[in-house]
Amino acid sequence: MLKRKTFCKDLEGTAKTLLRFKHSEEDSGLRASKEWEELFVNNNYLATIRLKGINGQLRSSRFRSVCWKLFLEVLPQDRSQWIKTTSDLRTSYSKIKEIHITNPRKAGQQDLIINNPLSQDEGSLWNKFFQDKELRAMIEQDVTRTFPEMQYFQQENVRKILTDVLFCYARENEQLLYKQGMHELLAPIVFILHCDHQAFSHASEAAQPSEEMKVLLNPEYLEHDAYAMFTRLMKTAEHWFSTFEHDSQKEKDVMITPTPFARPQDLGPSIAIVAKVNQIQDHLLKKHDIELYMHLNRLEIAPQIYGLRWVRLLFGREFPLQDLLVVWDALFADSITLNLVDYIFVAMLLYIRDALISSNYQTCLGLLMHYPPIGDVHSLILRALFLRDPKRNPRPVTHQFQQNLDYYKARGADLMNKTRASAKAAPLNINKVSNSLLNFGRKLIAPAMASGGAVGAPAGGSSFPPSAMPVRSTVEAPQHHHHHQQHHHQAQQQRMMKSESMPVQLGKGQSSKNISSSPSIESLSGGREFTGSPPLSASKKDSFFNTISRSRSQSKTMSRKESEEELEAQISFLQGQLNDLEAMCKYCAKMMNTHLGNIQEVILQEHLEKEDEILVSLAGLKQIKDILKGSLRFNQSQLEAEENEQITIADDHYCSNSQNKGTGDALKGSVMTKQQFISERQTTTDSSTSESKTADDYIMVSKEEEGSRSTVPEPAQSLQTHKEAVVKPEAPSRSLIFSDPLMGSISASSSNLSSSPDDDSSNNSKDSDFAIVSPLDI
Amino acid sequence: MRHILVTAVRVLVTAVLERRGAGQWLCERPGAAGRICAVLLSNPSLTLVFPLRCVELVLALGDLHIPHRCSGLPAEFKKLLVPGKIQHILCTGNLCTKETYDYLRTLASDVHVVRGDADSLNYPEEKVVTVGQFRIGLIHGHQVIPWGNVASLALLQRQLDVDILISGHTHRFEAVEHENKFYINPGSATGAYNALETNIIPSFVLMDIQASTVVAYVYQLIEDDVKVERIEFKKY
């Protein structure tokens, strides 16, 4: 006959059937009593069950609650005393309940002045009643949120039990009252009591259980037992909940200047739990894994962010219920002082250390706040034991968490946005912006890197402005698929993201060159990636697009509310891009200006043969300079005109003059006027026809504002087209020579600056009619 | 079915309570009762706990005449009237402004006001509110002639078919049981003067409605001291 025991791991139905026996009922009774004897009826039973607890062998035990009671010292060691102690505790709880759950109408004999419903007197029963009501409401709020995934805790009677126990505890311990988190400590206790009662009722249907068993596992006293266990547990755990500040520096008048360079966890009042969690990180973690410690410090992740919840709830929210019970088995079995908590804490951190080290702030937060599920929780316990006492415990096999980190990055982003009030608000955008600009700078410097790089860079040049670089953007990616491995991408991505965590100061234009060095330093000094392949700085740059595109595809399933943040990030990123490009253009314009001036001077002095052509070319170049600088507005129709290779000058309201007398040196830049600007067909200068001042036909666009967006990205194209235009001149029907009054004033030979058709004013004048839009130059 | 349950529980409860010597009461507010019954019957191990959610406090006041005859409620009264404790407010009228109405709204969410002769806003002339087992009628009182006459009020009570009739206008506190019906006049909460009387004691009434019992607490401001009186009234 096969005897099999099956475990029900389904949380939904666990409340009903933790153990399902498939054999006859008589056996179940027998097995129950057998187990009882095995556990409790021998000389050194306490040590035995402790050992079982630590080894996780209580997972399927029918008498887990009894074991816990023993661990928590609710039951004395002496077995003969069990029944007596239990009944004592139960009656005391009943009494407590009676005291605290009051009926304000009962006291008829009290003085009416004190005991009326509106009284705020301390002695008034009504007052107490209202206070109780408030406390109860607070507790109930938390109770309804306990283990929402479990059907068992949705039942009204269970909730009432939880509320009553917590309420009585709060009333018994006035200095602590009720704090959020206590419900999570109570819930598993109630749960295992219930499970044991279920199992017991199954077993006792058949065989007659012993008197002891009957008393201990009496389902009527679930509440009382739960209360007893809970209070005992809280004796250890209560100072984690207390918010008593140890620091005596509570003078509000004195301006307490925080110490400079203080870590966020060190600022603020020192509460017991915070001190504990800090101590775990500063000492234990530092001792066992200094790299992780440094990394967390550098990211300024205060341990109380995640540690508070871990410790206060005894990891209640980090593991699924069955695993949690195993952890608690070990915790309680180990010692009532819950000393193993610290080491389990560290063991949990070590499990995800690789992922943490290679992540940025956002992903780290995501990982820590949503702890990834562990396959074998027992290994964690073993590790914790080993950390505590390496000599006596075996060294466990080290598992590491290796999974797709994008999920955690997203979770981390949620958390970051929730805690925007903290000073961490800025880094998100800055990181994204800086990262993209980093990349842009890198592309400027090394446009044609190794294999895939060439594809990336020029395509990036055109697609860069429209494509948004932030990692989580949902813009369609340029479809460059390199053949790198997935994990390699991720590795790159991790390093990318890590480099984001260093806010990089970007200046304008020139300094973008300097930045390229820092990311590579970052990658070199960074932590190991989990695949261990050495970072390739070259391929890193060009495969960045891949990681972006891949992560983009992965991130396409993000929720709507994230899209707003993404848009924001995109916007800020684009803004940064634009600023950078602007800066670059200005720089180019400036340099061009200088050099063109030089060339012009030399040419004018030289008296060459084909002077005119050169001068026309110079004029074209000056136009380019103006476009870069922003005084001229670049029109898209130029591009089309380029392709047509024709002069299609529609109309020439403004082009009236052919007064291109003047010397050949007159071509200085162009003057902004309030006119339409259709640019340069192929500017032709037959040295024969025109008197060489022929510039292109320009109808100028009045510029609304400097640095308008359409202008800025275009210089790249316009650079090329202008060059082309200047090279292939053609005879225009009109010619206009505009000059830049500002330039005119600067240059020495500022003769013959032709006027615009509209105005008769000389070009030299800084006429207000001419809308020169380059205030920066002034 | 629920009724049977309720009575069954009531029997249970009274049995238990008599053993303990406590007063007998069980709130029968619908919904709460059902839940409590379910709880009690399903889990006999639970010690019987008095259902605390059944406390219904009703505040009756009126004739404030703010700002025409008085500037505001007395400070001692204001100290007592804290939001969160009172479930219903029944106001006999003559507030007279919207600001006073808003203040009452901050004390409780359920505010009923009837129109007095000095009110300008659009309130109804009379109202009937059901709280617990009681039907409570509300009227200002200037419509009832002679003012404050019990027999005339009884006429109105029969007309509205209420168990408790709250009226005002006389600015004088009264609580009368007449023909097994309860007549309450909360007086003037600010102590505003009347046409016939200038010396008015500020007063209001707070009713604690249990199943078929009403306990009325009368708060009066006599020489800067709040005095409380307690009056009990049973329905049957």
pLDDT tens figures, B33-80: 334 333 333 333 333 334 555 678 999 999 999 889 999 999 999 999
State the amino acid at position A282 in one-letter form. Answer: D
Q: Which of A104, A116, A220 sits opposite B45 (nearest CB)?
A: A220
pLDDT tens, position by position, A588-615: 888 999 999 999 888 888 877 888 888 8
Nearest-CA distance A186 → chain B (Å): 18
Nearest-CA distance A82 → chain B (Å): 21
Asked if A160 lies within 8 A of B46 by C-beta distance, the reply is yes
Nearest-CA distance A283 → chain B (Å): 48
Instruction: Pick the closest to residue B221 from B81, B104, B111 (CA basis).
Output: B81
Asked if A106 lies within 8 A of B22 by C-beta distance, the reply is yes
A579's torsion region: left (phi>0), alpha (psi -120 to 50) or beta? Answer: alpha
Asked if B208 lies within 8 A of A119 by C-beta distance, the reply is no
* pLDDT (0 to 100) of residue A246: 62
Asked if B84 lies within 8 A of A223 by C-beta distance, the reply is no
User: Which residue in the block uniquely carries the two structure tokens 């009619």?
Assistant: A769
A221 touches chain B (CB under 8 A): yes
HEC string of A571-630? HHHHHHHHHHHHHHHHHHHHHHHHHHHHHHHHHHHHCCCCHHHHHHHHHHHHHHHHHHHC
Asked if A118 lies within 8 A of B49 by C-beta distance, the reply is no
Pairing of strands B56-61, B203-209: antiparallel
Which residues in chain B touch residue A118, judged by CB atoms under 8 angstroms apart?
80-82, 85, 206, 217, 219
Given a cut of 70, whether residue A737 has pLDDT beyond it is no
The mean pLDDT value for B219-230 works out to 90
Q: A255 CB contacts (<8 Å, ≥6 apart)?
A: none
Instruction: Pick the closest to residue A176 from A128, A96, A241, A248 (CA basis).
Output: A241
The C-alpha atoms of residue A655 and residue A638 are separated, in whole angstroms, by: 18
Q: Which two tokens stand for residue A222?
A: 């679930």
A106 touches chain B (CB under 8 A): yes
* pLDDT (0 to 100) of residue A14: 52
Q: Between A15 and B216, whose confidence is greater? A: B216
Q: For residue A656, give the 3-state DSSP assignment.
A: coil
Are the C-beta atoms of residues A440 and A398 closer than 8 Å to each other?
no
* pLDDT (0 to 100) of residue B92: 92
The mean pLDDT value for A721-740 works out to 44
- Residues 399-458, chain A: which have Cβ within 8 Å of B? none
Asked if B217 lies within 8 A of A119 by C-beta distance, the reply is no
Asked if A103 lies within 8 A of B50 by C-beta distance, the reply is yes
Which residues in chain A touch residue B226, judged by CB atoms under 8 angstroms apart?
113
Lowest mean pLDDT among A64-68, A568-572, B82-86: A64-68
A557 touches chain B (CB under 8 A): no
Q: Chains A and B: how many Cβ contacts under 8 Å?
A: 71
DSSP states along A75-90: S-SSGGGHHHHHHHHH
Given a cut of 80, whether residue A646 has pLDDT beyond it is no
Which residues in chain A touch residue B215, judged by CB atoms under 8 angstroms apart?
105
pLDDT tens, position by position, A430-477: 444 445 555 555 555 544 444 443 443 444 344 434 443 443 434 333
Q: What percent of chain B has pLDDT over 70?
A: 77
Burial class (CB in 10 A: 0-12, 13-18, 19+), A725: buried
Asked if A156 lies within 8 A of B227 by C-beta distance, the reply is no
pLDDT classification of A485: cutoffs 50, 70, 90 = very low
Span between the terminal Cα atoms of chain B, in Å: 24
Q: Between A60 and A224, whose confidence is greater? A: A224
User: Which residue in the block uniquely carries the two structure tokens 């369609």?
Assistant: A476
User: Which residue in the block uniquely carries the two structure tokens 């604690």?
Assistant: B208
* pLDDT (0 to 100) of residue B167: 93
Q: Between A277 and A649, whose confidence is greater? A: A277
The C-alpha atoms of residue A219 and residue A201 are separated, in whole angstroms, by: 9
Asked if A129 lies within 8 A of B227 by C-beta distance, the reply is no
Q: Which two tokens stand for residue A509?
A: 């234009």
Q: Which two tokens stand for residue B114?
A: 């009837």
Given a cut of 50, whether residue A567 has pLDDT beyond it is yes
The mean pLDDT value for A82-89 works out to 85
Residue A438 Cα distances to A114, A416, A516, angstroms? 72, 23, 7
pLDDT classification of A415: cutoffs 50, 70, 90 = confident
pLDDT classification of A23: cutoffs 50, 70, 90 = very low
The mean pLDDT value for A655-664 works out to 42
Are the C-beta atoms of residues B192 and B64 closer than 8 Å to each other?
yes
Asked if A106 lies within 8 A of B25 by C-beta distance, the reply is no
* pLDDT (0 to 100) of residue B1: 53
Does a cis peptide bond (omega within 30 degrees of 0) precede residue B67?
Answer: yes
Element spanning A96, H or E: helix A82-100
Instruction: Pick the closest to residue A698 from A663, A764, A649 (CA basis).
Output: A649
Are the C-beta atoms of residues A301 and A364 closer than 8 Å to each other?
yes
Q: B62 CB contacts (<8 Å, ≥6 apart)?
A: B91, B92, B93, B94, B116, B140, B168, B186, B188, B189
Burial class (CB in 10 A: 0-12, 13-18, 19+), B53: middle
The mean pLDDT value for A183-196 works out to 89
Whether this prediction's pTM lies above 0.80 is answered by no
* pLDDT (0 to 100) of residue B175: 93
Asked if B50 lies within 8 A of A130 by C-beta distance, the reply is no
Q: Which of B46, B82, B107 to mutate to test the interface with A (most CBs of A within 10 A)?
A: B46
HSE-up of residue A504 (Cα within 13 Å, Cβ side) = 32
Asked if B219 lies within 8 A of A130 by C-beta distance, the reply is no
**Minimum CA–CA partner of A108 in chain B:** B23
ipTM summary value: 0.71
**Minimum CA–CA partner of B56 in chain A:** A117
pLDDT tens, position by position, A31-59: 777 777 777 777 777 888 888 878 877 77
State the amino acid at position B214 in one-letter form. Answer: V
Task: Return the DSSP state at A72.
Answer: T
Q: What percent of chain A has pLDDT over 70?
A: 54
pLDDT classification of A85: cutoffs 50, 70, 90 = confident
* pLDDT (0 to 100) of residue B16: 43
**Minimum CA–CA partner of A160 in chain B:** B39
pLDDT classification of B154: cutoffs 50, 70, 90 = very high
Given a cut of 90, whether residue B204 has pLDDT beyond it is yes
* pLDDT (0 to 100) of residue A74: 78
Q: Which residues of B touch A (CB under 8 A)?
A: 22-23, 25, 35, 38-39, 42-47, 49-50, 52, 55, 57, 79-82, 84-85, 206, 208, 210, 215, 217, 219, 226-230
Instruction: Pick the closest to residue B148 from B109, B121, B95, B188 (CA basis).
Output: B188
Are the C-beta atoms of residues A663 and A653 closer than 8 Å to each other?
no
pLDDT tens, position by position, A313-343: 888 888 888 888 888 888 888 888 888 888 8
Given a cut of 50, whether residue A725 has pLDDT beyond it is no
The mean pLDDT value for A5-28 works out to 52
Given a cut of 80, whether residue B181 has pLDDT beyond it is yes
Are the C-beta atoms of residues A311 and A323 closer than 8 Å to each other?
no
Q: Which of A112, A160, A220 sits opposite B228 (nearest CB)?
A: A112
Pairing of strands B181-186, B164-166: parallel
- What integer best gives the mean pLDDT of chain A? 67
Q: Which of B39, B55, B210 sits opposite A160 (nearest CB)?
A: B39
* pLDDT (0 to 100) of residue A112: 74
Given a cut of 50, whether residue A19 has pLDDT beyond it is no
Span between the terminal Cα atoms of chain A, in Å: 100
Which residues in chain A touch residue B217, judged by CB atoms under 8 angstroms apart?
112, 116-118
Which residues in chain A touch residue B206, judged by CB atoms under 8 angstroms apart?
116-118
A113 touches chain B (CB under 8 A): yes
**Minimum CA–CA partner of A165 in chain B:** B46
Q: Between A689 and A37, whose confidence is greater? A: A37
Lowest mean pLDDT among A132-146, B2-16, B199-213: B2-16
Q: Which two tokens stand for residue A606?
A: 């030289």
Lowest mean pLDDT among A187-201, A280-294, A430-444, B82-96: A430-444
Asked if B226 lies within 8 A of A113 by C-beta distance, the reply is yes
Nearest-CA distance A40 → chain B (Å): 28
Given a cut of 90, whether residue B202 has pLDDT beyond it is yes
Q: Which of A92, A105, A111 to mutate to test the interface with B (most CBs of B within 10 A)?
A: A105
Asked if A97 lies within 8 A of B23 by C-beta distance, the reply is no
CA B152 to chain CA centroid, Å, is 21
Lowest mean pLDDT among A92-106, A566-580, A690-704: A690-704
Nearest-CA distance A105 → chain B (Å): 9
Lowest mean pLDDT among A506-515, B6-15, B192-201: A506-515
